[in-house]
Every structure is written in C-alpha cells, then in structure tokens.
Amino acid sequence: MKNIVLTGFMGTGKTSVAKQLSNMLGMKVVDMDTEIEKTQGMSINEVFGKHGEHYFRDAETEMAQTVSTMEHVIISTGGGVVLRPENIEYLRKNGVVICLMASPETILKRTSSSDERPLLKVDDPLGKITEMLEMRKPFYNNADLMIDTEEKSPRQVAEEIIEDLKWKK
C-alpha cells in the first residue's frame, strides 16, 4: 500500500486520525512536526519564536523530502505543508494525499485548549482561522481525497478513509 499522507488545517484531526489509521491498518505514523522538533532540538513554538516562519517552512520542505522516501507509513503533516507545491510533489511520489476539513468554528473549538499553535496566538483567532482557510483553500483542494470531519470521531473519519481508499485502488 502507498503511504497515507494526511493534510488539512490545524485542528482538522490529522494527529488523532493518523493514530486510528495506524491501529486499524498496522502502519507506522510519522508526524512531520514531531520529526522537525527532533531535528531542530526545540518545539515548533520555539522554532517560530527563535527563527521565524520562513526558517520553519524551509525545515518543513526538507522534512517533506526526507519522509517522502519512506514506505508503508502514515504521514501526518503540519497544516501549512500545502503552501509549497514542491512539498506535495514529494509527498505524492510514494503516497496518496488526503485532506481533512472542518469549519472555522470547529477548528477554533479543537485548537483553543492548546498553546502550541504560534500562528493562532492572536486577538481574534476565529477571524484569523477564517482568513487563513480562505487563502489556503486552493492548496488544500489539490488533494487526492477530501474528507469532511465535522461531527465525526477520529475513528469514523479513519473508517471513511479506508473505505474511500478501497475504491481508489
């Protein structure tokens, strides 16, 4: 089976769905942000704080290239990986790209309990989410499969993905 590459905005459930898929399919999860944290020796928050977004995006592109050489894994990406077309080109070489979607309100609900998203540390996170989603829409739409996660558990989303992948074979 090809790699399963999960894309989508922050809070669309990539990490939890990746874990579910891993249990159901017996495939290992590679989380790009976790791998970047390991190679940089600091948290994503610290990378943004110390070096800025451009530096993070370069590290992300390097990581997209590295993980794209792996086989039979579930790759959970950071929400901005779609912004550079070359990242998706790398990830698609060995994988099927699946984009998870949710409304701005749901994304706000799912992300508000955590302090780990530097881009959402603003006075009006809902406005920022809405604006970023609109700007990124064409990039997210470029996936092989789009899955709505609204009011679904990670398990339900994982089941839907497995079902859809059967038809894509």
Contact residues for ligand S3P (CB under 6 A)?
10, 14, 33, 44, 78-80, 117-119
CB of 139 to ligand S3P, least distance (A): 11
25 or 83: whose CB is closer to ligand S3P? 83
Closest chain position to ligand S3P (CB): 78
CB of 147 to ligand S3P, least distance (A): 15
96 or 139: whose CB is closer to ligand S3P? 139
CB of 166 to ligand S3P, least distance (A): 27
118 or 125: whose CB is closer to ligand S3P? 118
99 or 161: whose CB is closer to ligand S3P? 99
- Residues 53-73: b if buried by 16+ CB within 10 A, e if exposed: eeebbebbbebbeebbeeeeb
- Residue type present at position 109: K
CB of 80 to ligand S3P, least distance (A): 3
